[in-house]
Structure 1
């Protein structure tokens, strides 16, 4: 293996291991396998540790290398490296000019703590510029958690709908996790709408995303991928418990709420009820199971989010359904 390639690998491993927890045995095992795969790996890593001023890492590496040679289990310790003045130029020269900036990414993310973002029911779109330059727009009744990790940028969509304009970073892909669906992207504009725990819609304005259907295992403590799809410009995918569906819905509809409108192009009552509820004091509800059986109305309409109540009052004139108001909810019932 060329010396420059070994140095690049060592630099990547050093940057990665600064963010690996002590009890992450899987990552420590991967690191140990890399160390033992070639005699040149350990010296290159020790040199990298010295450049970054992590002298304890060098001592720890010596012990770890010895354990690898003996075929023993290495002691798993972790310590964050210390960035010293002048180091960046040295590392950039060592790794070929571009790796220095890539190595800084895991170091920079330490200044970006995990944050909770929420937008209340009935509120207009809320725009957030994330530290990496990506743009996150929250719809009404939406709650997310943003995490910056060593190998990815993660947004957990707990409820509601959000739109994303992602800055490309091949070293750390952008991931949106809504339990039922997991969306991975390098750079694009797309929206994720969590209608329920079992129904998530992904709409791509432009770019390319990978959507994976996730299924709970071990009582919900672990989620595994069961299948995936690749989406590009203008495509819309619904991920449900039964798999993926391609609704006849323009991708542009998924972004209308950013301008204070909701667009329904053949929406089921269930889908419409979820979106309307984000702007009303009482929840809007539809009978369960109406969304796929084809026996209930499909709604085509445009409504301003500030005018939901008036829209509900006129809805029976648009479709064969009844709007019934109760103390607890507004019900949309097929006639």
Structure 2
């Protein structure tokens, strides 16, 4: 998309977010001159959008009712899904763009469906510190390399040059990642997108090799959990907690739970090491019995000694 077309679409989205805009305010949001804004307004008018210019010291532009696009053909479930996706775009680095997109979509929904979408107010809470914002141009460059199967060169974290065959873009815990085959290290690597500075032009085309695990979700799970080629944790075990299943369930995350009575339940968890697995049971603030396998029971004893020493 050319710069002019992209800017004109952004102008249309801004005009749909509130009734009146001054010329200087639009120019500031678009990073353009007021003269450029006037030209873009004329382009929108040529496309059939009724935009009124208000003269005077408090003048500006107004998108008249009825000049929006025809209603989008979404059913209720689709419209709500789209609204939730855009309202929960935290950690992507595109929160402002998502808000503008939602405002634009909302304008072209039928009134009844618009009211239903407006009723869905979601508070999206990031899982950790706010990630570095992702530039749209960087994301588009990586996506194009993945789509076209072109080798990609980039500087990573301000250090050396990496040569890769990009395979997938993915998100994990509010961050963007690029999954790629590293040509120099001859192995699969996972790169944080906010640390990538792409080089141009792109390299030659390549024939993609099979991704371990068969799909990107399983591959990322295995890499982030410290395993190799499997989405399972390296260490898994279970124990009986002396609390009800209802009290434990809200803190379970990706574990499994089995109710054994009003004040007992068996919990199964995974972790990257046996001490880490034993420590994860401590977050439930409950008595622990019947831990298995033996490696988990020994890890409890090891941590007990370590914690006792720390209390002195």
Normalised-by-shorter TM-score class: 0.3 to 0.5
> Greater CA radius of gyration, 1 or 2?
2
TM-score, normalised by the number of residues in structure 2: 0.36
TM-score, normalised by the number of residues in structure 1: 0.34
Structure with greater proportional helix content: 2
